[in-house]
Structure 1
């Protein structure tokens, strides 16, 4: 039952716009994965601009995690990575998303939006659950040799990652990431609007983790609990540290945390 307008959540107007204009996206078999790919590419464009500027600007190169490691990735490397990610989305992620939606059946969108507090709590809970599930699966992929070779080795072709490489993974790993994200939202039992915000934030954090830049305004500088690009680049270089994607508490607890300063001294 709808509540009176005076008691409606602040986000009700936004949710109504989403329900009216984007319902076909939320209920479609293929559009969610298409939007996810386009969102990922859009989030990567600022870092593409930085890489282009970095080839001619020393100030931009100084923001790179490994400032002395050479020039940023070339446009050709970006293009090759784009084609690999696009190909895997077409032949793996799109069919898998369609199958999951078909198995789940038609969704019923709630009439009411979540409150701002509910949205923040649910998004944060989804990030924590995803971070935990990813940490466990990531450790397994590194500690089990056949699992590493068949699933995760492709992603580690990037010794110095860049933004678009966040999803340059094997088909099996892309599917596992999709299932982990969907399972996190299902375990939390969050509102569809909270789930949409979680997926957007999850995509941005993955891009920022792989961007290769330690920017003054990056989220890990604003929130000390996040590892950010320096920690994840250390993982790509050393392989046995910083398994968690975003937060640092699991790596601190299990002794696998490595600061960027320690990594750069190695």
Structure 2
């Protein structure tokens, strides 16, 4: 039980985990924490060629006006829309904290399964919102305000998109019956991958470099989507775009 010491520590904070505020605070604080390193790179890029060489669109720069705009919309969506829904979820499905942690192999396998399920759901949703003009103009166009991605643009979206993708992320653990620790790890990984997808940098340690055979797209994959809006609809993996003929690698 390699994860038991970690789970025991978390159980020591059970009142926080049971709190109706926890899901929203967790989501917002983790998201902003993951964005911070990339915001630092954005600040250094105009002055430091070593950083700028890794930018996917080196001619672009991130303005502080856009940072403020992204932050304002993110906080607004969390407070006005996500928080009431998490309260409803908290009321309908009270948090259950079992005394034992899940086995590590099971946790890793289930997190990967959740990512695959979320990737499929998001691919279908995303493709429809680009193929149906009304859906794009009414809902998805907000997210494409920025053709050059940066970390904070990951959650720059309207309420329909925010709630839809939140529903996909929340339904995957529910469908698979995950242990609360596995669910937390999935949310952490999912938020990180979303931020990394939008970071605007092709860094040497990026996730897509760790996956063989081009199975994972990463920031370069998603930046091409924002640049052209005609390819790479899956958020993470490349197999659905490959099957649909919408994959573009930029090589």
Question: What's the CA shift for 1:142?
Answer: 1.2
- CA-to-aligned-CA distance 1:106-130 (integer Å, 9 cap, x gap): 2221111011101110111110111
Superposition CA RMSD, Å: 1.2
**Which aligned runs of 4 or more in structure 1 are off by greater than 4 angstroms?**
none
TM-score by length of 2: 0.96
Q: Distance in 2 between matches of 1:245 and 1:119?
A: 22
> Gaps (5+ residues) in structure 2?
none
Task: Answer yes or no: is 1:175 the counterpart of 2:130.
Answer: no
Task: Answer yes or no: is 1:24 the counterpart of 2:24.
Answer: no
Question: What's the CA shift for 1:55?
Answer: 1.4
| Structure 2 SS opposite 1:110 | coil
Residue in structure 1 matching 2:193, options 205, 208, 214: 205
Task: Answer yes or no: is 1:41 the counterpart of 2:32.
Answer: yes
Task: Answer yes or no: is 1:234 the counterpart of 2:216.
Answer: no
Q: What's the counterpart of residue 193 of structure 1?
A: 181
- CA-to-aligned-CA distance 1:156-181 (integer Å, 9 cap, x gap): 00111100110011011111111100
Q: What's the counterpart of residue 84 of structure 2?
A: 95
Question: What's the CA shift for 1:226?
Answer: 1.2
Aligned ranges 1:110-189 → 2 under 5 Å: 110-189=98-177
Q: Distance in 2 between matches of 1:245 and 1:134?
A: 7
| Structure 1 SS opposite 2:208 | helix
Residue in structure 2 matching 1:83, options 68, 72, 80: 72
Q: Distance in 1 between matches of 2:121 and 2:17?
A: 25
The aligned length equals 249
| Structure 2 SS opposite 1:241 | coil
8 A contact 1:84–1:168 mirrored in 2: yes
Q: Distance in 1 between matches of 2:202 and 2:250?
A: 10
Q: Distance in 2 between matches of 1:41 and 1:97?
A: 19
Larger Rg, first or second structure (1 or 2):
1
Question: What's the CA shift for 1:240?
Answer: 1.8
TM-score by length of 1: 0.90
Q: Distance in 1 between matches of 2:4 and 2:69?
A: 42
8 A contact 1:47–1:211 mirrored in 2: yes
Q: Distance in 2 between matches of 1:135 and 1:27?
A: 32
Task: Answer yes or no: is 1:107 the counterpart of 2:95.
Answer: yes
> Gaps (5+ residues) in structure 1?
1-8, 262-266
Residue in structure 2 matching 1:73, options 45, 48, 62: 62
Q: Distance in 2 between matches of 1:243 and 1:208?
A: 16
